[in-house]
Structure 1
Amino acid sequence: MKKILVILMTLISFLCLASCTSNDLTKSDDDQINEEKKEQVTYVTIDKKSIVLDKFGDLEYINEGIEISNELSFKFSHVHGLDYLLSQVEKLDSNLYIHLDIVKQKGVYKLLYYYPNMRIKSSVNPLSLFLLSDYILPYSVELILGHLSNIQNVSPFKNFSIKLGIKDASNTLNHLHKNNITQAFYEVQSSDTFMMSVYDEESQLILVGTGFEYLMGNTKSNQVYYPIAYEFYNFTNPKYNTMYQERLEFSTDFGENYQLIDEKVPKFDVSYEALNEELANYIFFYAKNYDEFINKVNLAKTTSITLKYDIKSTYFDELLSIYDETYFEEYIVIFYYKLETRMSENYVYSVTTKDDTLTLNVHGILSGATAFSSYTYLVTLDKLDVEGITHFDLVYRSIT
């Protein structure tokens, strides 16, 4: 009997111990889960302006929400506290570095840094995630406001969006506002240039600059406001902006008369542009010597009869008698022919050069009449003027 009691007591003790151990283990798991939850990142709703008010006092918000991409991070990485700020937020956009607001504190323009839609650790003080620094953007707010004040019916600066970008090796418009004025400005900048564009979608007013130079215009009304000495079309379509390069004297009457520019239409608007193969129904070639001229004339002979609308069968043979070996000792020739599906007079506006490229600039005067027409020009150039030229382009413009 005594042995039976001892065995029963042992079993009861074992069961109690097992029960206690199980409870302790369960409690330990709960505690561990709770501890893990404490370390997890949690969503926190942040009222930016109230937090900023507590930290920096009353600020005037000039422009908010400027996105800075990772490719521009080196321009702002020196800002004290920015590394800590970025280490405490979960980045929702892998290409976004930071957001900026342009603000005014006690009469001085400054930059407010923060990350949008913050997802932060619950232990982090939100005050530490808003930073204020000196104004370091490419051109000043005073400059922007000064130019805007000269334009009538312009919305307040707060209604303009601001973008920042850098001229990269790919030479494509990145992160700036995409329009013909910005593109033209971007094209002429050197690599790694830091730029800022300010744009109002409603009025289509654009201001773009580097801090050293800037351009302001309106893509809706086709105007350039600054610099005031330039016309809108001096800046737009930069790929074909060849009319204002260095001009060469040229002749279209077999060398009798030379000119730098043909101002048949002294003031015009460009409605269409094409470079080389972008153009249809044309023949274009150049020759620096007589052998090259023979080869290219023979090639032109094989061009479709349909294209050679009113060129006589003997025309190219006659050219070989006009331009002989003696001619090519001093001159080169450029041949241009264009078939139009309307009455649109063509003329050679100018011959320009840049680096090793020569461009024949041809204008077609736009007309609404429906009829076929064709135009042929042989352009004479002094051989000494084209030394170093290795590439020849044709740019055709329809003008009104």
Structure 2
Amino acid sequence: MSPQTLRSPRTAPEREAARHGWLQALGTVLAGLVVMVVVAALGLWAAGAADLPDNAFPRVVAAAVVTAVGGTVELSGGAGAIAETQAGLTVIPLSVTLAGALVIAAGFLRPLRHRAVAGATELAGWAVRIAVLWLAALIGVSLGARQTFDIPLGDVGDFLGMSADVGFETDIASTVLFGLLWLAGILVLALLVSRAAPLPPRLLRFQESVRPAAYAMVALLLAYVALGVVIGIVVAATRGHAAETAAVMLLGLPNVVWLTFTIGLGATWDGQVEGPFGLPMPHLLDQVLRGPDVSELNLGSLAEYDGRVWWLVVVDAVLLLAAAFVMAARSPARVRLWQHAVHMAVALVLTVLMICLVARISAHYGLSIIGIGDLGGDLGGELYLRPRLWSALGFAALWGLVTGCAGGLLARRVRRRGAVDDVVRGGR
């Protein structure tokens, strides 16, 4: 036997342990952070943010990364001794969020491949290493996300002899809290989705019902993003406005496609666009929502402007049926038809709930003088978009029951694994 062969039994455990070390955790965190920064920078550059004064572009990129993980960026400003700027912004650039989530999840799962079972202590230790380094990264990015801009007031400013400014800075405490919760959600979801990831022995019994449904929902959301990429490329190539389209794709593509997904299910969103603000979304949505009053955004209101929106129902039906089939095909053969329907309904309700929580938008900017309201016009505006939550969840439950049952029927002819195979080969 060669010396290399004699040494292999001793070095294999060392190599296995090293794969869970701090160096691998650092690589996972840095890869996720770099991808998020690059996507945010490209999107903001396409939106024209590179021309911001005072070399503010890097700090705006940092703010985009902060908001992408659920952090809080606070806006403030003033306009001399007698005036005050009032501003607020709540929006999550989900393209940046999704890019970071995919990279971090892949880095987390990589050392765990090809194993059926892992101890809870081992998984917790690996996750804690990533969390500690992610915490340091969050604090660093938060400290860099602060800037102040001068706002021209035009004739009003010349008449009153004043100028306005508005700035932003990160609330570090809330950013750390929500950033760590975001990371925890990503790691848990990665374990739920991947059949190549091991679970602690006590949790193996849950993988038959949870993992196929979780995988189907993630595949569904990614399918909508992929469809949005194709549509965005076609629009940029045929209708111009390539920079604006690229900005939407790199910053808010999931915001758009997941919103339209819920609308296709029958959900209604309430919104308003007033003043200089504009939605970073297709012009059709801006048309429906722009005006002094609150507007409804649903299939009916969109169809008044473009009848082709009814195709959203067809796309939803096809992709949901495909997701339900995938879920049923990955489930053990002994799962009953009604269980497929219930699993799909629960998974879809949770998915729509997530979309309703992360896709809402709120923005306001105004100038008040001596405490007397906003001046309005080009000096003020408001934008918001929020769902009617309970009706959206009700439609999701109905669609889930129907498509889950249909998917279970379609998967009956597919050879599926039994309960014994799930335990023995669950890591493959």
Query: Structure 2-normalised TM-score?
Result: 0.18
Greater RCO, CA 8 A, separation 6+: 2
Instruction: Point out the structure with max Rg over C-alpha.
Output: 1
Task: Flag the structure with higher strand content.
Answer: 1
